[in-house]
Structure 1
Amino acid sequence: MSVRPETSTPPTPPWLTQALPRLRGLEPTRSYGYGGELLHDDGRADMEAYGARVADLAIRLGEALLSYGASAEEAVAGMLVTAETYGLSYCEPSVTLASVSLSGYAPGELTPLHASRVIRKHATDFRTLSRIHSLVDDISARQLSLEEARARTARILDAPAERGRWARWRVPVQTGAVAAGAAVVFGGGPLTSLCSFVAGLLGAQLCGWLARHGVPAFYRYAVASMPAAALALAVSGSAPPFAVQAIVVAGVLGLLPTVTFVSAVQDALTGHYLTALGRLSDALLVFAAVVTGVVVVLGVGDLLGFGVPIVPSAARVDYLGSPAAGAVVFAVAVAARARTPRRDWLPAAALGLGAFVVAVEFRALGFSSLVGTALVAAVVGGAGHWVARRRRESALPLVVPGIAPLLPGGALYVALSALASGRTTLGVGGLVNVAAVTLALAVGVGLSGEVGQLVRRVRGGAPGRG
């Protein structure tokens, strides 16, 4: 029987807000036991079997949250809220990048339950992540019985995969759209955008084909980055230098593990160091693969006599027209590829455009790239978290597309071209600068979320739930 709140009952706070005091040690240990009531008890004598079903549900939801892009803290909070809502006590959920686990006590049982699940695949799917968030929110509000929650989870996670020709071409085409938008952001025209689209499409198609044959990620992404460099070399004899830069940068920006890096920094800042280290290693491996693929092609081209031009930063006036439109296309394409719900495309486009314009103005005022990027990312993150809290959803579907136009493409191209032409010291220094700017992005996004949580806790007047 479903248990639903009375109409006079005030709405409960978001489930992540409910769980954070426990996860961050703001509640005394003695309060960790279950203090509510069992939602339904139909006379079953075997509470251990009931508890096992609760644990299985919590584990599946935690696995889905983590594998579809949520932070480790969100995954742990989702498992904790689910398990305690359905009657388990003294719950201790934990996650690493490769597994989730949960222990707790079923009602009336003295032997603890233990459950774990290995995560073998990670994918960015904000549409499914949003559905899981909504499900956990309904569970925390006690609007679903255990069996209803298990059935809804199965409908979300066990749905058949996309079929048809578009299912195979969706990611390559959307990756090409990401590259086309990025090309315009970095000063390219229609032909440059078209070349970047082709480069992104070919790279994603190669990456997907290799993935279906079990090739490890490093080799997949190294191969996927090569079409952009090859097309840039092919047009270098007739195209202006900035077009070569735009094709290289745009072709590889869609391959960079931005979501993984942002999540790794958030996990580290919230104390989930093992998960953060795993995600950071994953991100660095993909980044190294992209660098390797581009440098190999550009290096071979340099040996064959193709010039690899070094392009200075564009002036402020260059950003008042088409690059701003490119930032919108870039943000929307990133949102579409990450399977963000369509209702979030317009807010993501607004955040991306605003972030791009403000970042350019900061640069014109003399702000350093690190400080300016961190400040803009904090504002984007704050807006995304505010909207997400009002909707009781994850902020990632808005924040990730919003910060996409801030990625350091120009600095990345300078570093890659320096490495390809043998200037190793300049190239390594450039890569360090790219990593630092990307870190500033991640820290800015995380900072805005923490400030919001702090304000809500201060307004609440106590560190406890609510």
Structure 2
Amino acid sequence: MTETREIQRTLDIALRVGDMLLANGAGAADVTATMSSIAHQLGLRQALVDVTFTTVHISYQSGPDEPAVAATRHVKQRETDFDDLTRVDHLVRDLLSDEIDLDEARIRLAQIASTGHRTPRWAVTLSWGAIGAGVAMLIGGDWIVTLIAAVAAICLEILQRWLSRLRLPFFYAQVAGGLFASLLAVGASAAHISTDPSLVITASIVMLLAGLGFIGAIQDALTDFYVTAVARILEVMISTVGVIVGVSGGLTVGRLVGVDINLDPGAAGLSHLPLVVAGGALSAAAFAFAAYAPSRVLLPIAAIAGVASGIYLVLSENDLGRAWPAAIAAIFIGLVSYTVASRAQVPPLVIVVSGIVPLLPGLSIYRGLSLLGADDYTGILQMITAAAIAISLAAGVILGEYVAQPLRREAHRLEQRLAGPRLVGPLRARAVRKASKRGNMHSM
């Protein structure tokens, strides 16, 4: 391929795919590998790809005496959209398997970028209420806490959407969200509603925590994209600090008006195990729905998150601390999600991010804030615990993915060896499809 126009068209589609992947939370290593694979498939054997936080760059030089052709895109809008992520993933697979050509890939990519969502906005807003209700169940809240948390989550979603239209920096939206959640709890306590306001705050701020960004940051750090990793970690820290500032402001207002907020809310015990499993399943599936995940994957996400929540509760109740149970539950999510994602035909990131939502350390963050607000510096230990849980979650799911890939390859080889005696079922069907493909190739 030597024509400049064709080179530019190839670089453009690789760049646009990388843009959409990075905007939806994919790690820099995944974006780089995908862009390089597309360029190689379309004839550019040694295209150079560079991903740095919000910038995607690709260049190609056909020969030592030829000028290099380069293109760069800046990711302007970053949001969690699992529908676009899945559709782009399918497009890339079809392109790499020669099922579509460059022109059709460009058309499909333009359709993905310009097509709106089939899910109505009101349904997404209600799903955020389901997230709040699920988290309230997860931490052992009663029906009053669950109801208030659901209302708070709906109001938080509307508030943050309105603030985003004002083009305010995301930090201020996080401050407003944390402040609203804590003031709602203060108001409920002042109205003498028989509930634990600390549980309301904890259930409300979980939806503000940056789980997707932290997974991407740890993945970038583990795959040697250190500049991007540092930038993403800083972004996550600023986002979390915004929540901390908002909640701290609300607690201060509560103390000024004489409302006593419990500084050490109780956590769910083993007696709450069924409620915890149900809450984890509900919050994870609702988050996936709110992020426009395909409906076929909602039930598997609920099952995985429910089991992971149960694993975390059982292990944490056996004096293993908080970080190790979170890591083990996250490894389980990473291991299972790789196989489930393949069956459901979605990227593993869809299942991983949704699955860790119930495990985000909202309770530890609230405890740390409350203790620090009361001049008790043991709150610093709670904040360190929250950071340790977040790192354990991100590192755990990535480790689970690393372990799952070779295991799946070995299982696939075993399938091929055992497929002979099977006369019906998926293994036999897969063998028939492969034989059919080989026959078609020979006939050509």
TM-score by length of 1: 0.83
- Cα distance change, pair 396–460 in 1 and its aligned pair in 2 (3 A): closer
Distance across 2 between alignment mates of 1:271 and 1:355:
29
Distance across 2 between alignment mates of 1:171 and 1:281:
28
CA deviations on 1:149-203 (whole Å, 9 max, x unpaired) are 11111111122x4599x43x45433222211111111122222112112211222
Distance across 1 between alignment mates of 2:341 and 2:314:
27
Question: How many corresponding residue pairs?
Answer: 412
SS of 1:247's equivalent? helix
Determine the structure 1 residue equivalent to 2:228: 275
CA deviations on 1:295-331 (whole Å, 9 max, x unpaired) are 0011121122111212354353432343332222111
Determine the structure 2 residue equivalent to 1:6: none
Distance across 1 between alignment mates of 2:23 and 2:65:
31
Select the residue among 179, 183, 187 that pairs with 1:230: 183
Shift, 1:281, TM fit: 1.2
Shift, 1:455, TM fit: 5.1
Select the residue among 370, 389, 392 that pairs with 1:440: 392
Amino acid at match of 1:385: Y
SS of 1:225's equivalent? helix
Amino acid at match of 2:175: A
Q: Is residue 334–residue 404 contact of structure 2 (8 Å, CA) maintained in 1?
A: no
Determine the structure 2 residue equivalent to 1:91: 47
Worse-matched range after superposition: 395-404 or 282-291: 395-404
Distance across 2 between alignment mates of 1:344 and 1:226:
34
Q: Is residue 124–residue 289 contact of structure 2 (8 Å, CA) maintained in 1?
A: no
Select the residue among 1, 10, 13 that pairs with 1:57: 13
SS of 1:110's equivalent? coil
SS of 1:309's equivalent? coil
Determine the structure 2 residue equivalent to 1:205: 158
The two structures, once aligned, show a CA RMSD in angstroms of 2.4
Distance across 2 between alignment mates of 1:454 and 1:324:
30
Distance across 1 between alignment mates of 2:345 and 2:298:
17
Identity %: 32
Worse-matched range after superposition: 90-99 or 303-312: 303-312
Amino acid at match of 1:366: D
- Output aligned runs, 1:17-416, within 5 Å: 47-106=3-62, 110-159=66-115, 161-162=116-117, 166-167=120-121, 169-237=122-190, 238-239=192-193, 243-311=196-264, 313-314=266-267, 316-390=269-343, 393-416=346-369
Distance across 2 between alignment mates of 1:109 and 1:89:
17
CA deviations on 1:265-313 (whole Å, 9 max, x unpaired) are 1111111112211211111111000010010011121122111212354
Q: Is residue 381–residue 449 contact of structure 1 (8 Å, CA) maintained in 2?
A: yes
Shift, 1:239, TM fit: 4.4
Determine the structure 2 residue equivalent to 1:41: none
Structure 1: 5+ residue runs without aligned partners? 1-37, 39-45, 462-466
Amino acid at match of 1:81: S
SS of 2:47's equivalent? strand
Amino acid at match of 1:172: T
**Bigger helix share:** 2
Distance across 1 between alignment mates of 2:130 and 2:407:
39
SS of 2:79's equivalent? coil
